[in-house]
């Protein structure tokens, strides 16, 4: 198995992902939200690349079974049901619902990687389960960091490195690209306090400024859920477990 990390979505175009196994990471906060919502019983997440498209899809859904969710500049979008705070995606709110989700970087990164053969989402909250899943698939892996408006961000890179550590602790002989090795080095630097790293990173500071400090604590919880979201036919669903 070879693992590479794309430090920004701009490192690759849509066709690059064709047939690949890809893991999208947007710790603050899109993939934490996706993992949490599916873990709490959401039927599916429909990740979209624009607010217009999100509105269009929701306009066709009149059955009360959909929620229109996401953020612009970290805040809930006018007319939407939920913003992008993971702790709002509670069981009583999301169970059985289709969640149409737009976020600035995270859902766009997922849409960009849509031609992948296997497309998963990862955050600190489902690290161990995603690692186990990847070891079972046993294919080369592209870890796609959603970053921030095309730029590098430390929290996604650090989570990528931690995911790689989880994989290499389960499997021998994994080959790492330079970007993958660098991600591991960054992750090891923050191994004992990635919550503090996230409070002090650029997006973390913005979230605190905008009143979302509690979200950072939530996004820092590690391997506390077992859900592995898997993209198929335009939606993310809970992946069925793969036999060992
Ligand atoms: C994003 O997709 O850029 C993020 O999830 C933004 C956020 O909600 O903090």
Is residue 242 situated within a structural domain?
no
State the total domains in the chain.
Answer: 1
Q: Going by C-beta distance under 8 Å and a sequence separation of 6 or more, which residues neighbour residue 236? A: 34, 38, 44, 45, 46, 47, 110, 121, 229, 230
Closest atom of ligand 1 to 109 CA is 2
Residue 122: per-residue pLDDT? 98
Tell me, in angstroms, the distance from the centre of ligand 1 to residue 233's CA. Answer: 23
Residue 192: per-residue pLDDT? 79
Is residue 240 situated within a structural domain?
no
CATH code, domain with 92: 3.90.1560.10
Residue 128: per-residue pLDDT? 98
Tell me, in angstroms, the distance from the centre of ligand 1 to residue 70's CA. Answer: 8
Beta strands in 191-234 (DSSP E): 229-232
Strands 118-122 and 2-6 come out as unpaired
From the first residue on, what is the mean pLDDT of each consecutive set of 10 residues in the chain (244 residues)?
97 97 98 98 98 89 85 96 98 97 98 98 98 97 97 97 98 98 97 93 98 98 97 95 72
Is 166 close to ligand 1, i.e. is its CB under 6 Å away?
no
Residue 241: per-residue pLDDT? 78
Distance CA 75, CA 209 (A): 12
Is residue 15 situated within a structural domain?
yes
- Helices within 118-201 (DSSP H only): 127-137, 154-168, 178-189, 194-200
Asked if omega into 29 is within 30° of 0 (cis), the reply is yes
Is residue 238 situated within a structural domain?
no
Is residue 152 situated within a structural domain?
yes
Is 88 close to ligand 1, i.e. is its CB under 6 Å away?
no
Closest atom of ligand 1 to 29 CA is 5
Q: What is the longest distance spanned by two Cα atoms in the chain? A: 51
Distance CA 153, CA 158 (A): 9
Is residue 169 situated within a structural domain?
yes
Domain housing 56: 2-233
Is residue 59 situated within a structural domain?
yes
Q: Which two tokens stand for residue 51?
A: 């607010």
Residues in the chain: 244
Tell me, in angstroms, the distance from the centre of ligand 1 to residue 75's CA. Answer: 9
Is residue 99 situated within a structural domain?
yes
Tell me, in angstroms, the distance from the centre of ligand 1 to residue 85's CA. Answer: 9
């Amino acid at each position: 198995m070879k693992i590479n990390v794309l430090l920004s979505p701009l490192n690759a175009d849509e066709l690059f992902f064709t047939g690949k196994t890809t893991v999208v990471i947007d710790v603050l906060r899109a993939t934490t939200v996706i993992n949490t919502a599916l873990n709490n019983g959401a039927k599916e997440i429909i990740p979209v690349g624009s607010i217009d498209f999100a509105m269009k899809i929701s306009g066709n859904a009149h059955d009360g079974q959909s929620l229109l969710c996401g953020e612009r500049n970290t805040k809930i979008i006018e007319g939407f049901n939920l913003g992008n705070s993971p702790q709002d995606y509670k069981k009583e709110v999301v169970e059985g619902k289709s969640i149409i989700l737009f976020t600035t970087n995270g859902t766009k990164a997922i849409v960009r990687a849509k031609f992948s053969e296997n497309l998963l989402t990862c955050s600190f909250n489902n690290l161990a389960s995603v690692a186990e899943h990847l070891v079972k698939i046993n294919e080369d892996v592209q870890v796609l960091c959603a970053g921030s408006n095309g730029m590098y961000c430390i929290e996604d890179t650090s989570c990528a490195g931690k995911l790689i550590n989880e994989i290499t602790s389960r499997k021998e002989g994994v080959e790492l690209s330079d970007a993958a090795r660098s991600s591991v080095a960054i992750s090891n630097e923050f191994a004992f306090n990635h919550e503090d790293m996230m409070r002090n990173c650029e997006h973390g500071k913005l979230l605190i400024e905008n009143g979302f400090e509690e979200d950072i604590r939530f996004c820092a919880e590690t391997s506390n859920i077992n859900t592995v979201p898997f993209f198929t036919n335009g939606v993310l669903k809970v992946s069925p477990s793969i036999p060992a």
